[in-house]
A and B are shown apart, each in its own frame.
Chain A
Protein backbone atom coordinates (compact mmCIF):
# COMPACT_ATOMS: atom_id res chain seq x y z
CA UNK A 1 0.00 0.00 0.00
CA UNK A 2 1.47 3.35 -0.96
CA UNK A 3 1.83 6.17 1.54
CA UNK A 4 -0.99 8.24 0.12
CA UNK A 5 -3.42 5.36 0.25
CA UNK A 6 -2.35 4.52 3.80
CA UNK A 7 -2.86 8.14 4.79
CA UNK A 8 -6.41 8.00 3.46
CA UNK A 9 -7.05 4.71 5.24
CA UNK A 10 -5.86 6.36 8.46
CA UNK A 11 -8.59 8.96 8.04
CA UNK A 12 -11.41 6.44 7.76
CA UNK A 13 -12.00 6.18 11.54
CA UNK A 14 -12.46 9.94 11.70
CA UNK A 15 -14.66 9.84 8.60
CA UNK A 16 -16.92 7.35 10.37
CA UNK A 17 -17.23 9.85 13.22
CA UNK A 18 -17.92 12.68 10.79
CA UNK A 19 -14.85 14.41 12.18
CA UNK A 20 -13.01 15.26 8.98
CA UNK A 21 -12.57 18.75 7.65
CA UNK A 22 -14.00 19.26 4.15
CA UNK A 23 -10.82 18.74 2.14
CA UNK A 24 -9.90 15.46 3.79
CA UNK A 25 -13.50 14.33 3.66
CA UNK A 26 -13.52 14.79 -0.11
CA UNK A 27 -10.27 12.87 -0.46
CA UNK A 28 -11.59 9.94 1.58
CA UNK A 29 -14.84 9.87 -0.36
CA UNK A 30 -12.90 9.77 -3.60
CA UNK A 31 -10.98 6.76 -2.33
CA UNK A 32 -14.17 5.09 -1.13
CA UNK A 33 -15.75 5.41 -4.56
CA UNK A 34 -13.40 2.84 -6.05
CA UNK A 35 -11.86 0.89 -3.19
CA UNK A 36 -13.79 -2.09 -1.75
CA UNK A 37 -11.27 -2.55 1.04
CA UNK A 38 -11.78 1.05 2.15
CA UNK A 39 -15.55 0.51 1.98
CA UNK A 40 -15.26 -2.60 4.16
CA UNK A 41 -13.15 -0.74 6.68
CA UNK A 42 -15.61 2.13 6.77
CA UNK A 43 -18.52 -0.25 7.30
CA UNK A 44 -16.74 -1.68 10.34
CA UNK A 45 -15.91 1.72 11.80
CA UNK A 46 -19.47 2.86 11.22
CA UNK A 47 -20.77 -0.07 13.23
CA UNK A 48 -18.40 0.91 16.04
CA UNK A 49 -19.51 4.54 15.80
CA UNK A 50 -23.17 3.56 15.95
CA UNK A 51 -22.59 1.66 19.17
CA UNK A 52 -20.89 4.64 20.80
CA UNK A 53 -24.32 6.16 21.26
CA UNK A 54 -24.94 3.62 24.02
CA UNK A 55 -22.06 4.99 26.07
CA UNK A 56 -24.09 8.06 27.05
CA UNK A 57 -24.56 7.91 30.84
CA UNK A 58 -28.02 6.79 31.90
CA UNK A 59 -30.33 9.67 32.71
CA UNK A 60 -34.06 9.27 33.26
CA UNK A 61 -36.35 11.48 31.22
CA UNK A 62 -38.77 13.69 33.14
CA UNK A 63 -42.06 11.82 33.47
CA UNK A 64 -44.22 14.60 32.04
CA UNK A 65 -42.71 14.11 28.59
CA UNK A 66 -45.29 11.47 27.71
CA UNK A 67 -48.16 13.90 28.31
CA UNK A 68 -46.28 16.54 26.38
CA UNK A 69 -45.93 14.17 23.45
CA UNK A 70 -49.67 13.56 23.45
CA UNK A 71 -50.27 17.28 23.33
CA UNK A 72 -47.87 17.66 20.43
CA UNK A 73 -49.61 14.89 18.56
CA UNK A 74 -53.02 16.41 19.21
CA UNK A 75 -51.79 19.76 17.95
CA UNK A 76 -50.39 18.27 14.79
CA UNK A 77 -53.53 16.87 13.16
CA UNK A 78 -53.97 15.86 10.45
CA UNK A 79 -51.33 13.28 11.02
CA UNK A 80 -48.99 12.10 8.28
CA UNK A 81 -50.50 10.02 5.53
CA UNK A 82 -49.39 6.45 5.04
CA UNK A 83 -48.93 4.71 1.76
CA UNK A 84 -49.71 1.12 2.63
CA UNK A 85 -53.13 0.49 1.06
CA UNK A 86 -53.96 -2.73 2.99
CA UNK A 87 -53.58 -0.88 6.22
CA UNK A 88 -55.97 1.91 5.32
CA UNK A 89 -59.07 0.51 6.98
CA UNK A 90 -57.11 -0.36 10.06
CA UNK A 91 -55.61 3.09 9.91
CA UNK A 92 -59.02 4.80 9.92
CA UNK A 93 -60.14 2.69 12.85
CA UNK A 94 -56.89 3.51 14.63
CA UNK A 95 -57.38 7.16 13.80
CA UNK A 96 -60.80 7.25 15.42
CA UNK A 97 -59.60 5.30 18.41
CA UNK A 98 -56.45 7.34 18.73
CA UNK A 99 -58.37 10.59 18.33
CA UNK A 100 -60.73 9.55 21.10
CA UNK A 101 -57.85 8.50 23.30
CA UNK A 102 -55.92 11.67 22.59
CA UNK A 103 -58.96 13.84 23.26
CA UNK A 104 -59.59 12.09 26.55
CA UNK A 105 -55.91 12.16 27.40
CA UNK A 106 -55.65 15.84 26.57
CA UNK A 107 -58.71 16.61 28.68
CA UNK A 108 -57.31 14.52 31.50
CA UNK A 109 -53.94 16.16 31.12
CA UNK A 110 -55.53 19.59 31.37
CA UNK A 111 -57.47 18.55 34.43
CA UNK A 112 -54.50 16.86 36.05
CA UNK A 113 -51.89 19.34 34.95
CA UNK A 114 -51.86 21.35 38.16
CA UNK A 115 -51.16 18.18 40.11
CA UNK A 116 -48.69 16.62 37.70
CA UNK A 117 -46.82 19.67 36.58
CA UNK A 118 -46.76 22.47 39.09
CA UNK A 119 -45.51 25.65 37.52
CA UNK A 120 -41.78 26.05 37.90
CA UNK A 121 -41.24 28.21 40.95
CA UNK A 122 -39.57 31.51 40.30
CA UNK A 123 -36.08 31.00 41.76
CA UNK A 124 -36.10 34.31 43.59
CA UNK A 125 -39.51 33.56 45.03
CA UNK A 126 -38.42 30.04 45.95
CA UNK A 127 -35.38 31.47 47.71
CA UNK A 128 -37.57 33.89 49.67
CA UNK A 129 -39.94 31.06 50.60
CA UNK A 130 -37.06 28.93 51.77
CA UNK A 131 -35.41 31.63 53.83
CA UNK A 132 -38.73 32.35 55.54
CA UNK A 133 -39.07 28.71 56.51
CA UNK A 134 -37.70 26.90 59.50
CA UNK A 135 -35.48 23.86 59.26
CA UNK A 136 -33.70 24.95 56.11
CA UNK A 137 -29.97 24.82 55.61
CA UNK A 138 -27.84 27.84 54.80
CA UNK A 139 -24.43 27.09 53.31
CA UNK A 140 -22.15 29.92 52.17
CA UNK A 141 -20.50 29.63 48.79
CA UNK A 142 -16.72 29.53 48.43
CA UNK A 143 -15.52 31.72 45.57
CA UNK A 144 -13.09 30.27 43.10
CA UNK A 145 -9.59 31.54 42.52
CA UNK A 146 -9.70 35.06 41.19
CA UNK A 147 -13.42 35.31 41.92
CA UNK A 148 -13.17 36.62 45.46
CA UNK A 149 -15.86 39.26 44.89
CA UNK A 150 -18.46 36.55 44.32
CA UNK A 151 -20.62 36.05 47.41
CA UNK A 152 -23.76 34.13 48.18
CA UNK A 153 -25.28 31.11 49.81
CA UNK A 154 -27.18 27.94 49.15
CA UNK A 155 -30.50 27.60 50.93
CA UNK A 156 -32.03 24.17 50.84
CA UNK A 157 -34.70 22.02 52.34
CA UNK A 158 -32.83 18.98 53.68
CA UNK A 159 -35.39 16.58 52.20
CA UNK A 160 -34.49 17.66 48.68
CA UNK A 161 -37.75 19.35 47.80
CA UNK A 162 -36.14 22.68 47.01
CA UNK A 163 -32.69 24.25 46.85
CA UNK A 164 -31.63 27.61 45.47
CA UNK A 165 -28.29 29.38 45.35
CA UNK A 166 -28.37 33.16 45.66
CA UNK A 167 -25.20 34.71 44.33
CA UNK A 168 -23.94 38.23 43.78
CA UNK A 169 -21.20 39.70 41.62
CA UNK A 170 -20.91 36.94 39.06
CA UNK A 171 -18.28 37.77 36.46
CA UNK A 172 -19.23 39.06 33.04
CA UNK A 173 -19.39 36.47 30.28
CA UNK A 174 -18.44 36.91 26.66
CA UNK A 175 -21.15 36.07 24.12
CA UNK A 176 -19.65 32.65 23.51
CA UNK A 177 -19.63 31.62 27.16
CA UNK A 178 -22.13 30.29 29.66
CA UNK A 179 -22.23 29.37 33.32
CA UNK A 180 -22.63 25.68 34.09
CA UNK A 181 -23.82 24.23 37.36
CA UNK A 182 -22.20 20.97 38.48
CA UNK A 183 -23.58 18.44 40.92
CA UNK A 184 -21.16 16.21 42.84
CA UNK A 185 -22.80 13.16 44.37
CA UNK A 186 -21.71 11.52 47.58
CA UNK A 187 -20.34 8.56 45.62
CA UNK A 188 -18.07 10.88 43.64
CA UNK A 189 -20.04 11.07 40.42
CA UNK A 190 -20.25 14.49 38.84
CA UNK A 191 -22.82 15.64 36.33
CA UNK A 192 -24.19 18.83 34.84
CA UNK A 193 -27.01 20.57 36.66
CA UNK A 194 -27.70 22.89 33.75
CA UNK A 195 -26.56 26.02 32.00
CA UNK A 196 -27.45 29.60 32.74
CA UNK A 197 -26.47 33.17 32.05
CA UNK A 198 -26.82 36.11 34.36
CA UNK A 199 -26.21 39.79 33.84
CA UNK A 200 -23.05 40.96 35.57
CA UNK A 201 -23.72 42.81 38.76
CA UNK A 202 -27.21 41.40 39.20
CA UNK A 203 -28.22 39.09 41.99
CA UNK A 204 -28.74 35.65 40.46
CA UNK A 205 -30.91 32.88 41.85
CA UNK A 206 -29.88 29.45 40.64
CA UNK A 207 -32.28 26.58 41.22
CA UNK A 208 -30.39 23.42 42.13
CA UNK A 209 -32.06 20.34 40.62
CA UNK A 210 -31.88 17.90 43.51
CA UNK A 211 -34.43 15.67 41.79
CA UNK A 212 -36.15 15.08 45.10
CA UNK A 213 -33.09 13.53 46.64
CA UNK A 214 -31.98 14.56 50.11
CA UNK A 215 -29.31 17.20 50.21
CA UNK A 216 -26.83 14.89 51.87
CA UNK A 217 -26.75 12.63 48.81
CA UNK A 218 -24.51 15.33 47.35
CA UNK A 219 -21.13 16.46 48.62
CA UNK A 220 -21.27 19.74 46.79
CA UNK A 221 -22.13 21.91 43.84
CA UNK A 222 -20.11 24.25 41.72
CA UNK A 223 -20.39 26.70 38.89
CA UNK A 224 -17.84 27.05 36.11
CA UNK A 225 -17.52 29.20 33.02
CA UNK A 226 -17.84 27.10 29.88
CA UNK A 227 -18.10 27.63 26.15
CA UNK A 228 -21.63 28.24 24.87
CA UNK A 229 -23.45 24.95 24.92
CA UNK A 230 -21.60 23.85 28.04
CA UNK A 231 -18.66 21.61 28.76
CA UNK A 232 -18.17 18.93 26.12
CA UNK A 233 -17.72 16.45 28.93
CA UNK A 234 -20.66 15.13 30.92
CA UNK A 235 -18.72 14.77 34.12
CA UNK A 236 -16.27 17.62 34.37
CA UNK A 237 -15.93 21.33 33.79
CA UNK A 238 -13.34 22.68 31.40
CA UNK A 239 -13.37 26.31 32.45
CA UNK A 240 -12.54 28.23 35.61
CA UNK A 241 -14.55 27.66 38.74
CA UNK A 242 -16.63 30.63 39.77
CA UNK A 243 -17.68 29.25 43.12
CA UNK A 244 -18.38 26.03 44.97
CA UNK A 245 -20.74 24.95 47.71
CA UNK A 246 -19.63 22.17 50.01
CA UNK A 247 -22.33 20.09 51.67
CA UNK A 248 -21.04 18.89 55.02
CA UNK A 249 -24.01 18.03 57.17
Chain B
Protein backbone atom coordinates (compact mmCIF):
# COMPACT_ATOMS: atom_id res chain seq x y z
CA UNK B 1 0.00 0.00 0.00
CA UNK B 2 1.51 3.29 -1.03
CA UNK B 3 1.15 6.46 0.98
CA UNK B 4 -1.58 7.93 -1.22
CA UNK B 5 -3.79 4.87 -0.94
CA UNK B 6 -3.23 4.80 2.82
CA UNK B 7 -4.19 8.46 3.02
CA UNK B 8 -7.29 7.77 0.93
CA UNK B 9 -8.29 4.96 3.27
CA UNK B 10 -7.80 7.18 6.29
CA UNK B 11 -9.97 9.87 4.70
CA UNK B 12 -12.69 7.31 4.03
CA UNK B 13 -12.34 6.00 7.55
CA UNK B 14 -12.85 9.46 8.97
CA UNK B 15 -15.96 9.70 6.81
CA UNK B 16 -17.33 6.61 8.50
CA UNK B 17 -16.58 4.05 5.81
CA UNK B 18 -16.38 0.64 7.46
CA UNK B 19 -14.78 -0.93 4.40
CA UNK B 20 -11.86 1.43 4.86
CA UNK B 21 -11.41 0.07 8.36
CA UNK B 22 -11.58 -3.49 7.05
CA UNK B 23 -8.98 -2.62 4.40
CA UNK B 24 -6.66 -1.17 7.04
CA UNK B 25 -7.26 -4.25 9.18
CA UNK B 26 -6.36 -6.49 6.27
CA UNK B 27 -3.17 -4.54 5.81
CA UNK B 28 -2.07 -4.05 9.41
CA UNK B 29 -3.69 -6.71 11.60
CA UNK B 30 -0.55 -8.85 11.47
CA UNK B 31 1.65 -6.02 12.67
CA UNK B 32 -0.77 -5.05 15.43
CA UNK B 33 -1.14 -8.66 16.49
CA UNK B 34 2.64 -9.11 16.56
CA UNK B 35 3.00 -6.19 18.97
CA UNK B 36 0.16 -7.42 21.18
CA UNK B 37 1.63 -10.91 21.23
CA UNK B 38 5.07 -9.52 22.04
CA UNK B 39 3.65 -7.89 25.15
CA UNK B 40 1.21 -10.60 26.22
CA UNK B 41 2.81 -13.81 24.94
CA UNK B 42 -0.62 -15.33 24.60
CA UNK B 43 -2.88 -15.74 21.63
CA UNK B 44 -6.36 -15.02 22.90
CA UNK B 45 -5.38 -11.88 24.75
CA UNK B 46 -3.37 -10.71 21.75
CA UNK B 47 -6.37 -11.25 19.48
CA UNK B 48 -8.56 -9.21 21.80
CA UNK B 49 -6.06 -6.37 21.92
CA UNK B 50 -5.77 -6.43 18.14
CA UNK B 51 -9.51 -6.03 17.75
CA UNK B 52 -9.69 -3.40 20.48
CA UNK B 53 -7.01 -1.45 18.67
CA UNK B 54 -8.97 -1.39 15.43
CA UNK B 55 -12.21 -0.51 17.18
CA UNK B 56 -10.39 2.34 18.84
CA UNK B 57 -9.12 3.37 15.43
CA UNK B 58 -12.72 3.32 14.21
CA UNK B 59 -13.88 5.52 17.06
CA UNK B 60 -10.89 7.85 17.26
CA UNK B 61 -9.49 8.01 13.75
CA UNK B 62 -9.87 11.77 13.72
CA UNK B 63 -7.27 12.04 16.49
CA UNK B 64 -4.54 10.84 14.16
CA UNK B 65 -2.37 13.72 12.99
CA UNK B 66 -0.21 12.83 9.97
CA UNK B 67 2.18 15.63 10.81
CA UNK B 68 3.13 13.92 14.05
CA UNK B 69 4.22 10.68 12.50
CA UNK B 70 3.51 7.66 10.40
CA UNK B 71 0.07 6.10 10.69
CA UNK B 72 1.34 2.59 11.35
CA UNK B 73 3.60 3.78 14.15
CA UNK B 74 0.64 5.55 15.74
CA UNK B 75 -1.52 2.45 15.40
CA UNK B 76 1.12 0.14 16.85
CA UNK B 77 1.67 2.50 19.75
CA UNK B 78 -2.04 2.27 20.57
CA UNK B 79 -1.76 -1.51 20.43
CA UNK B 80 1.30 -1.59 22.68
CA UNK B 81 -0.29 0.64 25.30
CA UNK B 82 -3.52 -1.33 25.26
CA UNK B 83 -1.58 -4.59 25.59
CA UNK B 84 0.38 -3.24 28.55
CA UNK B 85 -2.90 -2.23 30.20
CA UNK B 86 -4.17 -5.78 29.74
CA UNK B 87 -0.91 -7.20 31.04
CA UNK B 88 -1.13 -5.07 34.16
CA UNK B 89 -4.72 -6.12 34.77
CA UNK B 90 -3.71 -9.77 34.36
CA UNK B 91 -0.94 -9.33 36.88
CA UNK B 92 -3.35 -7.81 39.38
CA UNK B 93 -6.02 -10.42 38.84
CA UNK B 94 -6.51 -13.44 41.00
CA UNK B 95 -6.97 -16.72 39.15
CA UNK B 96 -10.65 -16.68 38.25
CA UNK B 97 -11.39 -20.38 38.06
CA UNK B 98 -9.98 -23.68 39.08
CA UNK B 99 -8.87 -24.41 35.57
CA UNK B 100 -8.65 -21.92 32.77
CA UNK B 101 -6.95 -22.63 29.52
CA UNK B 102 -6.25 -19.63 27.41
CA UNK B 103 -4.66 -21.45 24.54
CA UNK B 104 -6.64 -22.60 21.59
CA UNK B 105 -5.42 -25.08 19.09
CA UNK B 106 -6.82 -23.83 15.83
CA UNK B 107 -4.35 -24.21 13.01
CA UNK B 108 -4.06 -20.77 11.49
CA UNK B 109 -2.93 -19.92 8.03
CA UNK B 110 0.47 -18.34 8.17
CA UNK B 111 1.06 -15.23 6.23
CA UNK B 112 3.93 -12.89 5.86
CA UNK B 113 3.84 -9.43 7.32
CA UNK B 114 5.83 -6.57 5.90
CA UNK B 115 9.43 -6.84 7.00
CA UNK B 116 10.20 -3.84 9.17
CA UNK B 117 13.87 -4.58 8.88
CA UNK B 118 14.22 -3.63 5.28
CA UNK B 119 17.52 -2.11 4.27
CA UNK B 120 17.91 1.66 4.47
CA UNK B 121 15.10 1.78 6.94
CA UNK B 122 15.39 3.46 10.31
CA UNK B 123 13.32 0.72 11.84
CA UNK B 124 15.69 -1.91 10.53
CA UNK B 125 18.67 0.04 11.79
CA UNK B 126 17.16 0.27 15.23
CA UNK B 127 16.23 -3.40 15.33
CA UNK B 128 19.78 -4.34 14.34
CA UNK B 129 21.27 -2.00 16.93
CA UNK B 130 18.95 -3.38 19.61
CA UNK B 131 20.11 -6.89 18.75
CA UNK B 132 23.73 -5.77 19.09
CA UNK B 133 23.29 -4.31 22.56
CA UNK B 134 24.67 -6.24 25.52
CA UNK B 135 21.85 -8.53 26.65
CA UNK B 136 21.45 -6.81 30.00
CA UNK B 137 20.92 -3.43 28.30
CA UNK B 138 18.53 -4.90 25.76
CA UNK B 139 16.57 -6.65 28.50
CA UNK B 140 16.19 -3.45 30.50
CA UNK B 141 14.87 -1.58 27.47
CA UNK B 142 12.49 -4.36 26.48
CA UNK B 143 11.14 -4.78 29.98
CA UNK B 144 10.39 -1.07 30.11
CA UNK B 145 9.02 -0.78 26.61
CA UNK B 146 7.08 -3.99 26.11
CA UNK B 147 6.10 -4.68 29.69
CA UNK B 148 5.57 -1.19 31.00
CA UNK B 149 8.04 -1.66 33.85
CA UNK B 150 9.64 1.24 35.66
CA UNK B 151 13.23 1.31 36.87
CA UNK B 152 12.06 -0.03 40.23
CA UNK B 153 9.95 -2.76 38.65
CA UNK B 154 12.89 -3.93 36.55
CA UNK B 155 15.27 -3.88 39.50
CA UNK B 156 12.84 -5.98 41.55
CA UNK B 157 12.17 -8.31 38.67
CA UNK B 158 15.80 -8.90 37.79
CA UNK B 159 16.92 -8.68 41.41
CA UNK B 160 19.69 -6.23 40.64
CA UNK B 161 20.39 -2.84 42.23
CA UNK B 162 18.27 0.07 41.08
CA UNK B 163 21.33 2.03 39.98
CA UNK B 164 22.43 -0.86 37.80
CA UNK B 165 19.10 -0.85 36.02
CA UNK B 166 19.25 2.90 35.46
CA UNK B 167 22.71 2.60 33.96
CA UNK B 168 21.81 -0.31 31.70
CA UNK B 169 18.73 1.40 30.37
CA UNK B 170 20.47 4.73 29.84
CA UNK B 171 23.50 3.25 28.08
CA UNK B 172 21.33 1.10 25.84
CA UNK B 173 19.09 3.98 24.86
CA UNK B 174 22.07 6.23 24.22
CA UNK B 175 23.42 3.67 21.73
CA UNK B 176 20.05 3.38 20.03
CA UNK B 177 19.75 7.13 19.79
CA UNK B 178 23.22 7.41 18.29
CA UNK B 179 22.40 4.76 15.72
CA UNK B 180 19.16 6.57 14.90
CA UNK B 181 21.00 9.90 14.57
CA UNK B 182 23.64 8.35 12.35
CA UNK B 183 21.00 6.87 10.08
CA UNK B 184 18.89 10.02 10.02
CA UNK B 185 21.86 12.27 9.42
CA UNK B 186 25.13 10.54 8.53
CA UNK B 187 27.11 13.66 9.44
CA UNK B 188 25.88 13.64 13.01
CA UNK B 189 28.26 12.35 15.62
CA UNK B 190 26.87 13.40 18.97
- Chain A residues within CB distance 8 Å of chain B: 10-11, 13-14, 16-21, 24, 44-45, 47-63, 65-66, 68-70, 72-73, 76, 79-80, 82-84, 87, 90-91, 94-95, 97-98, 101-102, 117-118, 120-121, 123, 126, 160-164, 173, 175-176, 180-181, 192-199, 202, 204-212, 227-234
Contact = CB atoms under 8 A, between A and B. Distances in A.
B59 interface: yes
Contacts of A73: 18, 21, 55, 58
Given A60-B110, A175-B95, A229-B91, 7 more contacts: A54-B116, A62-B108, A82-B14, A84-B14, A97-B19, A120-B105, A197-B99
B99 A204 contact: yes
Interface string B85-117: 001101101110111111111111111110111
Interface in B122-179: 122-123, 126-127, 130, 139, 141-152, 154, 157, 166, 169-170, 173-174, 176-177
Interface string B11-30: 01011111101100110011
Contacts, number: 279
A173 B97 CA distance: 13
Contacts of B180: 44, 47-48, 51
Contacts of B58: 73, 76, 79-80
Contact of A53 (B35, B40, B59, B107): B35
Contact of A72 (B38, B55, B169): B55
B32 interface: yes
Contacts of B103: 181, 193-196, 206-207, 209
B140 to A, nearest CB: 8
B42 A230 contact: yes
B9 interface: no
B99 A121 contact: no
Contacts of A199: 98-99
Contacts of A230: 40-42
Contacts of B46: 59
Given A21-B152, A53-B73, A192-B41, A61 B32 contact: yes
B37 A209 contact: no
A164 B150 contact: no
B7 interface: no
B6 to A, nearest CB: 17
Contact of B38 (A57, A163, A207): A57
Contacts of B93: 228
Contacts of B181: 44
B25 A65 contact: yes
B10 interface: no
A231 B103 CA distance: 15
A98 B17 contact: yes
B126 to A, nearest CB: 5
Contacts of A176: 91
B27 to A, nearest CB: 11
Contact of B150 (A21, A51, A163): A21
26 contacts: A13-B174, A14-B151, A16-B173, A21-B150, A24-B151, A52-B145, A53-B76, A54-B127, A55-B130, A58-B34, A60-B110, A61-B30, A62-B33, A62-B43, A73-B58, A98-B19, A123-B105, A164-B105, A175-B95, A194-B102, A196-B100, A197-B95, A197-B100, A198-B99, A205-B101, A207-B104
B101 A19 contact: no
Contacts of A94: 12, 15-18
B42 to A, nearest CB: 5
Contacts of A212: 107-110
Nearest to A94: B17
Contact of A69 (B43, B51, B108): B51
B109 to A, nearest CB: 5
